């Protein structure tokens, strides 16, 4: 039957080694990283990912008109539906010039349909920013990945530290045994 004494590394003991104290403090550091560091890394990464998804300053929306019917979706029946297909659109800038370009529109939209497109400061057509649900899902996935990665790095560091300390304790024991071992049997022979 195995008997354990809780918190033995924190009690005063003349037999406690420096490696025991180092192992105890490495366990405290691991606990702190797992309890505070990993969640903080996850939240920071998730918020950063969500903030990066906002359109750049100067982008704005305008209404464009489809110049021809949009093609059908390339996805077949019963499979994941496409969010849009590329089709030719026409829009007019505030200075009265007409522009043409390819934009994402609903599949099979009829010619003459009005769609919202994004333009940059120079009036060039840009990709639509992601929708809010996609941004949230991506932020959660990136955040969880960062938290898991932080926990993995911390756990690996703790395992390496523990292995080093065990190796050092073994070397110390070998060194002490080499010093004391030859004297061990002299009293019994004498």
What pTM, to 2 d.p., does this model score?
0.60
Would you report the helix, strand and coil content of the chain in percent, each value rounded to 5? 50, 15, 35
Helix 132-184 and helix 18-32, axial crossing angle in degrees, nearest 10: 170
Listed in sequence order, the residues at least 6 apart from 32 whose beta carbon sits closer than 8 Å to its beta carbon are none
Place of tokens 């003991």: 13
What is the DSSP secondary structure assignment for residue 9, as one 8-state letter?
G
Successive 10-residue mean pLDDT values, the chain, 190 residues: 63 80 91 95 92 80 90 62 78 85 88 90 80 85 96 96 95 91 68
């Amino acid at each position: 039957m195995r008997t354990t004494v809780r918190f033995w590394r924190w009690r005063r003991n003349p037999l406690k080694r420096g490696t025991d104290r180092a192992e105890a403090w490495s366990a405290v550091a691991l606990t702190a990283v797992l309890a505070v560091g990993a969640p903080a890394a996850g939240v920071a990464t998730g918020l950063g990912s969500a903030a990066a998804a906002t359109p750049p300053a100067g982008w704005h929306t305008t209404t464009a008109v489809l110049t021809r019917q949009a093609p059908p979706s390339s996805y077949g029946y019963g499979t994941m539906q496409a969010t849009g297909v590329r089709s030719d659109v026409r829009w007019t800038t505030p200075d009265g010039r007409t522009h043409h370009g390819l934009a994402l529109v609903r599949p099979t939209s009829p010619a003459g349909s009005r769609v919202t497109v994004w333009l940059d400061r120079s009036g060039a057509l840009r990709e639509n920013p992601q929708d809010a649900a996609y941004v949230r899902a991506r932020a959660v996935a990136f955040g969880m990945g960062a938290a898991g990665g932080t926990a993995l790095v911390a756990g690996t560091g703790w395992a390496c530290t523990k292995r080093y300390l065990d190796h050092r304790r073994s070397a110390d024991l070998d060194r002490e045994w080499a010093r004391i071992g030859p004297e061990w049997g002299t009293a019994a022979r004498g």
